[in-house]
Amino acid sequence: MVLNYIWVAFFLIAFIVAIAKLVYSYYLSSNAEILGASQELIDKNRHVFGDIVNAIFERAELGFELSIGLTGILALWLGIMKIGEQGGAIRILSKLVGPLFASIFPGVPKNHPASGSIVMNFCANMLGLDNAATPLGLKAMNQLQELNPKKDTASNEQIMFLVLNTSGLTIIPVSILALRTSAGSIDPTSVFLPILIATYFSTLAGLITVSIIQKINLFKWVILAYVGGGTVLMALLIWFLGGLDQAALGQFSKIASSSLIFSIIISFLLLAIRKKVNVYEAFIEGAKDGFNVAIKIVPYLIAMLVGIGAFTASGAMGWLIDGLAWGIASIGLDTSFVDALPTALMKPLSGGGARAMMVESWGAESSLVDSFTGKLTSILQGSTETTFYVLAVYFGSVGIKKTRYAVKAGLIADLIGIITAIILGYMFFGSPDNTKNINTKVGIATALSIELSNNQSEPFKGVQLTDYAQYELDFGEFIEERKLNNSQFLIDTIYPKGTDFILETRYSDDRYYYIDGTKQKYQLTIEQGKLQSVFYFGNLRLEKAIIDLKEKEHSLLKKTPQNQGQ
């Protein structure tokens, strides 16, 4: 029901904002001289309904395109997970964490069936086996309900179980890695370690919160061994990573993530071989589940994307982010993470909504998937679970109406997960010192884009321009040549990609080929405060040949007898 209200709100708010902008555009138009309003600003507000409609169709297409790529990746991962499941991976994990769960669920009698279901559900969630985790979780809730003396009120054990569920400890964030791969990320697994660390601290926060309320002794040697040992390992990992510079940290993360993921795959294969499982058949069975999951995701992903697309195109999302940025800046904090906050705010309410917010943050054609915001939203998406959805489904399945402190404890775990995710985002993809350096580069890149839009060629002379075909020429001379044809570089967007910057422009000049404008993309390499080189995403020689051909065709058309007669 909450998701229904959120989805409708996206469209209603977009509609209200669009009407306000349309009315405002006519006010600007009638008072343009007094207010100094440009025609561009007037047109931008006046065409808001067209922008919303275009965004809706574009997001629907984007959702389907992502889902196609997602199908293959999910089929792969769920095939591998099925191998692990049949090889006994869940049972092995259950034996490893069994003593801990016996200590934090004191109300569950020894050898009660609920103990096995709780542990197996938790382990299935850790491995990303949602198809196995949900039925195991519902089974555990029913078994815990048998032990519950007040059938309409949540018991301590049920609250502990659900808070640990909502904190979402995950070893392999399958869907996030799959979406990043589908979106064309250069390094989709770069968020693997941050997600693992963030979910650990989210789970730890949930465990401590509920234990304090339930007066569970966290200083028992069993709990200290598991929780203390795990926390020490995480602290050592963070301490080690904190001592690395940005380049070394990125390299370590890439190697560690890839090695760990492949090691898990190999261990699943060995477990299955040991149990004489038909590995190939198990993979095919799991891959079929992956295909079915991807098909189920398509309508939800498209529904949320079009709603968020309308909300964004209307300008409402920009107002929300600007408001959050103002609030964050007013207390003296860096605001680089603010663009990712809509994903964090949506996650406790709706997994599908948060997923769509994450994809929306990746920008047009997922061009920002590897930006700071793109990576941070991926970490936030994986750092917690959908608290309200989990509580509604699990409590609803056993008819519990009084949830006591379950929501409060779940949201505390979510908050810790979000804060940890943001800290890890800065740590892995931009420390405070590095942020200043990046901001300096942003300023330089922005200044260069302004000079380019003003057709200034001096700053670009002596800078090498290279294209896809390895054709090289002087960038300043390239601009001078285009100036002869009354060139116009209209800047669409500029954003960081690694240590470089991507500049997207809409270019036009007097030549027949460019008269209506065309999109162009450049990669700027800036070092020591200067532009070092430029890479053009295209083929300059081919474009010149097409231009010459078009010009010849145009001149021939002018010379035809019919045209001459006119």
- Give the model confidence (pLDDT) of 205-251 as tens digits: 999 999 999 999 988 888 889 888 888 988 888 888 777 765 677 67
Same domain, 73 and 37: no
- Could you tell me which residues are beta bridge partners of residue 508? 488
Burial class of residue 293 (count of CB atoms within 10 Å of its CB; 0-12, 13-18, 19+): buried
**Domain end call among 430, 447, 463:** 430
Looking at per-residue confidence, does 535 or 244 come out higher? Answer: 535
Same domain, 70 and 212: yes
Across 101-115, 294-308, 361-375, which has the greatest mean pLDDT?
A: 101-115
Same domain, 38 and 69: no
Name which of 131-140, 219-228, 295-304 the model is least confident about: 131-140
- Give the CB-side neighbour count of residue 88, counting CA atoms within 13 A: 11
Same domain, 409 and 453: no
Does the residue 340 lie in any domain? no
Same domain, 399 and 517: no
**Does position 433 have pLDDT exceeding 50, yes or no?**
no
Q: pTM of the full predicted structure?
A: 0.64
The whole-angstrom separation of Cα 42 and Cα 22 is 9
Q: Give the number of other CB atoms < 10 A from CB of residue 349.
A: 17
User: What pLDDT is attached to residue 529?
Assistant: 62
- What is the H or E stretch that residue 262 is in? helix 246-274
- Could you tell me which residues are beta bridge partners of residue 506? 490, 519
Same domain, 171 and 31: no
The rounded radius of gyration (Å) of the Cα atoms in the chain is: 28
User: What pLDDT is attached to residue 384?
Assistant: 80
Contacts of 160 (CB under 8 A, 6+ apart): 104, 105, 207, 210, 214
The whole-angstrom separation of Cα 335 and Cα 321 is 10
**Type of residue numbered 445:** A
Same domain, 121 and 190: yes
Share of the chain above pLDDT 90, in %: 10
Tokens of 254: 């890439």
User: What pLDDT is attached to residue 184?
Assistant: 78
Residue 522's domain comprises 437-541
Does the residue 375 lie in any domain? no
- What is the H or E stretch that residue 522 is in? strand 518-527
- For residue 101, what pLDDT band results from cuts at 50, 70 and 90? confident
Same domain, 415 and 445: no
Residue (of 387, 350, 344, 381) closest to 163 by Cα position: 387
Does the residue 271 lie in any domain? yes
Burial class of residue 8 (count of CB atoms within 10 Å of its CB; 0-12, 13-18, 19+): exposed
Looking at per-residue confidence, does 247 or 198 come out higher? Answer: 198
**Does position 468 have pLDDT exceeding 60, yes or no?**
yes
User: What pLDDT is attached to residue 299?
Assistant: 81
- For residue 556, what pLDDT band results from cuts at 50, 70 and 90? low
The whole-angstrom separation of Cα 371 and Cα 340 is 11
Same domain, 33 and 179: no
- For residue 438, what pLDDT band results from cuts at 50, 70 and 90? very low
Tokens of 377: 């939203």
Strands 488-497 and 464-467: unpaired
The whole-angstrom separation of Cα 19 and Cα 22 is 5
Looking at per-residue confidence, does 406 or 438 come out higher? Answer: 406
Question: Is the separation of the CB atoms in 174 and 131 below 8 Å?
Answer: no
**Does position 289 have pLDDT exceeding 80, yes or no?**
no
Hey, is 27 helix, strand or coil?
Answer: helix
- For residue 58, what pLDDT band results from cuts at 50, 70 and 90? confident
**Does position 413 have pLDDT exceeding 50, yes or no?**
yes
Q: Which long-range contacts (CB under 8 A, 24 or more apart) does 223-228 make?
A: 223/100, 223/103, 223/104, 226/97, 226/99, 226/100, 227/100
What CATH number does the domain containing 522 carry?
A: 3.10.450.50
Same domain, 30 and 102: no
Q: List the helix and strand counts (H, then E) for the chain.
A: 24, 6
Does the residue 311 lie in any domain? no
Same domain, 534 and 400: no
Does the residue 517 lie in any domain? yes
Strands 464-467 and 530-536: parallel
Tokens of 292: 């079915």
Does the residue 234 lie in any domain? yes
pLDDT digits (tens, 9 = 90+) for 170-195: 777 877 887 888 787 877 888 888 89
Structural domain count of the chain: 3
User: What pLDDT is attached to residue 431?
Assistant: 46
Does the residue 236 lie in any domain? yes
φ/ψ of 140, rounded to 5, equals -65, -40
The whole-angstrom separation of Cα 562 and Cα 477 is 40
Report H helices in 105-228. 113-126, 130-147, 156-167, 174-182, 192-214, 221-223
User: What pLDDT is attached to residue 504?
Assistant: 82
Same domain, 254 and 131: yes
- For residue 554, what pLDDT band results from cuts at 50, 70 and 90? low
Q: State the Cα angle at 524 between 337 and 478, rounded to 5°.
A: 150
Does the residue 274 lie in any domain? yes
Mean pLDDT of the chain: 80
Mean pLDDT, range 434-440, rounded to an integer: 45
pLDDT digits (tens, 9 = 90+) for 329-388: 778 777 778 888 888 888 887 777 788 888 888 876 666 788 888 889 999 988 887 787
DSSP code per residue over 478-499? HHHHHHTTT-EEEEEEEEEETT
Looking at per-residue confidence, does 429 or 443 come out higher? Answer: 429
